[in-house]
Amino acid sequence: MASRRQQAERRRRATQHTRRPKLAAPDGWLSDDQWLAWAGDYGLDLRDRDQLLDAVAVGLTVLCWRNTALEDVHAGVERVQRLELLGRDPDDPDVHAEERRARRDHYQLLNANWEMLADIDPDESVRTDVFLDGREQGFGIPDDIMMRLNISTALDVRDMLDDVLPDSVTEPGAEITYDRRSVPEHIAALVELLQDPDRELTVGGSAVAAGDVLGATWDEYAEDVMRKVATHIKVTDLIGARRALWYAGLSGIIYASAWFPNPWWSRAVDLLRDAIADNRAVEVLYSPERVTEIPLDDEFWQTLSSRPAELTGPQCAWVQDTRLPDLISTARDSDRQRLGPLTGEDRFFGLAVMF
């Protein structure tokens, strides 16, 4: 097995490119004090390693995983593209009707025995096989499976960051040095991670390979990863690797405030659990009558709090019908008040965009 140094060298060579000029980060609105104030205004403490890694994992996952060709895969665009390649008009009434029947049959098979999955398919392996078969036919990704694929990817990114990044990533004034002819190690490692078709993603009790999820769209997705990373590299060259990570973290928790992991997830889950236990389901569920749709035992709450990629499909659907995002905002706002809220023109403005 290659040593860590050899692995790092391979990553460096894989992402090597021409020398770029180093631009000094300006003072003032891009000073460390400014970033700390902006982040604190959103309840994020950039000096807390766990909080920072959570936030950056969300930001980079959204940028380099979710905002790629994967979005079209999720929506099932491949089915339309296949029809066009076969010279069939998707708008033709007969073709359209045939396609509707095919989609209906697939999703009926995918969600067969939905209410009894815990009993007849506890690890969701049978359903996952149906999903992968559908992917080969160009069908999209159901929301409950997409939720778990996103979570699994974000955790992979977080684990990588924790392994590669130095402790100084939380220290104002510190610099993460790197060869200007290449990229910082964590960026090279990110590319290596997300471009691995064999990377396993957790879906309940099963695992699927990233390459099987993307299928025929893999090459387009892999190119998208490089385009998205290139944008992050430009930010890195402009303001420094550490500040670029701070930017990715702040943008991530603003753009995808309800994604796991974020620094407020477990506290929000506790708020959700307390509301259910206190018979206040109407405050936290969009459909309060669904409060007992799944067993809300200790195992469920522990999984939702720390291992949500292992939730079952019905459990994911139940969570997606809760006001968990609002509870995350509640927990985040309490930290905002503690860290020091900003007002008016002092607040972070339009840079919070995942390009």
Query: By the 8 A CB rule, do 262 and 328 touch?
Result: yes
d(CA 152, CA 73): 17
The pLDDT score that the predictor gives to residue 89 is 86
Element (H, E) at 209: strand 206-209
Residues contacting residue 25 through CB under 8 Å, at least 6 positions apart: 238, 239, 240, 243
Identify the pLDDT of residue 20.
39
Residue 351: what pLDDT? 58
Going residue by residue through the chain, which has 355 residues, state the pLDDT in tens, using 9 for 90 and above.
Answer: 444 444 545 444 444 433 333 434 445 557 899 999 999 999 999 999 999 999 999 999 999 999 999 999 999 999 888 888 888 888 889 988 999 999 999 999 999 999 899 999 999 999 999 999 999 999 999 999 999 999 999 999 999 999 999 999 999 999 999 987 789 999 999 999 999 999 999 999 999 999 999 999 999 999 999 999 999 999 999 889 999 999 999 999 999 999 999 999 999 999 999 999 999 999 999 999 989 899 999 999 999 999 999 999 999 999 999 999 999 999 999 999 999 999 887 888 765 555 5
| Residue 341 domain-assigned (yes or no) | no
Which domain range does residue 112 map to? 48-257
For the chain, first and last CA: distance in Å?
37
Tell me whether residue 170 is in a domain: yes
In a domain, 245, yes or no: yes
Please tell me the total count of domains within the chain: 1
Strands 206-209 and 200-203: antiparallel
Report the distance separating Cα 179 and Cα 96, nearest Å. 54
- The answer to the question of residue 335 being in a domain is no
- Read off the tokens for 94: 């007969």
Considering the domain boundaries, does residue 27 fall inside one? no
**Cα gap 166→174, rounded to integer Å:** 10
Let me know if residue 26 belongs to a domain.
no
| Partners of residue 322 on adjacent β-strands | 285
- The tokens for 248 are 């990715």
In a domain, residue 265? The reply is no
pLDDT reported for residue 231: 92
**Structure-token match 């060869």, residue found:** 179
Q: Which residues does residue 206 pair with via DSSP β-bridges, in sequence order? A: 203
Omega of the bond leading into 261 within 30 degrees of 0 (cis): yes
Question: Residue 206: phi, psi to the nearest 5?
Answer: -115, 170
Residue type, position 336, single letter: R
Is residue 94 in some structural domain?
yes
Residue-level pLDDT at 88: 86
